[in-house]
Amino acid sequence: MVETTSASAVLGEEDVNITPQIDAFEELVRLAVQKDPSLATLAEQHLRKKVTPSVAVASGAAPVSPFAPAEPAGAPGAATILGPALTTLPHQSKPAWLRQRAPQGEVYAGLKSQLRGLKLATVCEEAQCPNIGECWNGELATATIMLLGDTCTRGCRFCAVNTARTPPPADPDEPVNTATAVASWGVGYVVLTSVDRDDMPDGGAEHFTKTVRTLKHLRPGILVECLTPDFRGDLEAVKMLAGSGLDVFAHNVETVERLQKRVRDPRAGYMQTLDVLRAAKSVGVYTKSSIMLGLGETDDEVIDTMLDLKAVGVDIFTLGQYLQPTPNHLPVTEFVTPEKFEYWRKFGQEEIGFRYVASGPMVRSSYKAGEFFLHSMIESDRAALRRAREEQDEMRRRQAAQA
């Protein structure tokens, strides 16, 4: 599975836990406004509507009601994609900062009702993701779509998703169906992700590409991020997808170099991930990667990973807490404190120079607050490019008039 394992909390009708000590969303909204003051009004709306944080919507699996009961932790299917429920962590007690409040709010309720009309399985609801409220509320609604089914050809030791050497064939109509559904939903930012499909000649890159192109045709203004497999190191496949019109190419390194063989499937690898991110960056898109903390990494190894990712052009970096899906998976070595995550956020931005870092126990690859910042960053960069072109055109007109 390509997305960093995500925490899941049982979300009831009333307050079930406590709010994390550090509010990453408010901090990242502040960063967005600092970069583009014109976002102040939108930021105020986000913060006023804010509840507790991400929604992931999965397609490609067999048609499942988005509101089917959640599967038990560790059971096969979509519920394992985002990781285990915190209440079922094997033989481990949860620190206070890994607890969240139940989602609520009018926008959340309305979007939940709207999803009933889409033939997409809602992974975040089934997995009871703790960040669901934040992604489903606000002006920039966000979706994370899973392509290519729910069965992976790899067996990483941190992930409990279904695995098989030969998963069911990909649905050839999925790119059009998914793009049509998302376009009708009206979200402003969509993340397309998938399991690894080593059984497919290009690892599923063309499937991703068709989905992006169809979606951009239907909704030119939507921002699209692809959180991808490594396509078996096929850099031409990487470049094809990176050039499809997407806005952010994401591929996770997952952990530090020393722990790669222990954590990831042998067919993955640290250098292969760096090669994928370098190839995507060469096409000219924003690139993004993520690691899990709590697997036994040292501070120096985290810094080395940041430096390596920066060296291949990564713009956005996220850090989150690893959680053990079942007793058969890697145990948690450490529950990293919110204060340490905040240290890494500042270090990544101020010392390493990433354009954006999201870091926190509950932060995941497609975290809503990060997408708010990315939206402002992308739009700001595009506006600056338009101004530069206008200035160049004006200069040419003046030179022509003087000639």
Burial 3-23 (b: 16+ CB within 10 A, else e): bbbbbbbbbeeeeebeebebb
Asked whether residue 159 is marked as a ligand-binding residue, the answer is yes
Question: Which secondary structure element, helix H or strand E, spans residue 108, and what is its range?
Answer: helix 106-114
Give the pLDDT score at 382. 81
Task: Classify the C-alpha dihedral 69-73-76-81 as positive or negative.
Answer: positive
Q: What is the DSSP letter of 254?
A: B
Strand, helix or coil for residue 147: strand
Angle at 372 between CA 318 and CA 18, to 5 degrees: 70
Task: Classify the C-alpha dihedral 93-96-97-99 as positive or negative.
Answer: positive
Architecture of domain 100-385: Alpha-Beta Barrel (3.20)
The secondary structure of 335-376 as a DSSP string is ---HHHHHHHHHIIIIII--SEEEESTT--TT-HHHHHHHHH
Q: In what order do the strands lie in the sheet with 356-359?
A: 57-58, 142-147, 189-194, 223-227, 248-250, 286-293, 316-321, 356-359
Q: What is the DSSP letter of 123?
A: H
- pLDDT tens, position by position, for the chain (403 residues)? 454 433 332 223 333 333 334 445 565 566 666 666 666 666 666 566 554 333 344 443 333 322 233 333 333 333 333 444 445 555 456 677 665 554 445 545 554 554 544 444 344 443 445 555 555 444 455 667 889 988 999 999 988 888 899 999 999 999 999 899 888 877 778 889 899 999 999 999 999 999 999 999 999 988 899 999 999 999 999 999 999 999 999 999 999 999 999 999 999 999 999 999 999 999 999 999 999 999 999 999 999 999 999 999 999 999 999 988 888 899 999 999 999 999 999 999 999 999 989 898 877 665 554 565 666 777 778 888 888 888 888 888 888 888 7
Q: What is the DSSP letter of 69?
A: P
Give the pLDDT score at 394. 87
Asked whether residue 156 is marked as a ligand-binding residue, the answer is yes
401 contacts: CB under 8 Å, gap ≥ 6: none
Specify the amino acid at residue 70: A
Alpha-carbon 97 to chain mean position = 21
The predicted model scores a pTM of 0.71
Asked whether residue 226 is marked as a ligand-binding residue, the answer is no
Hunting for tokens 């009961």 — which residue is that?
Answer: 69
State the Cα–Cα distance between residues 54 and 128, nearest whole angstrom. 10
For the record, the structure tokens of 273 come out as 């991930």
Specify the amino acid at residue 128: Q
Specify the amino acid at residue 153: T
Give the pLDDT score at 313. 98
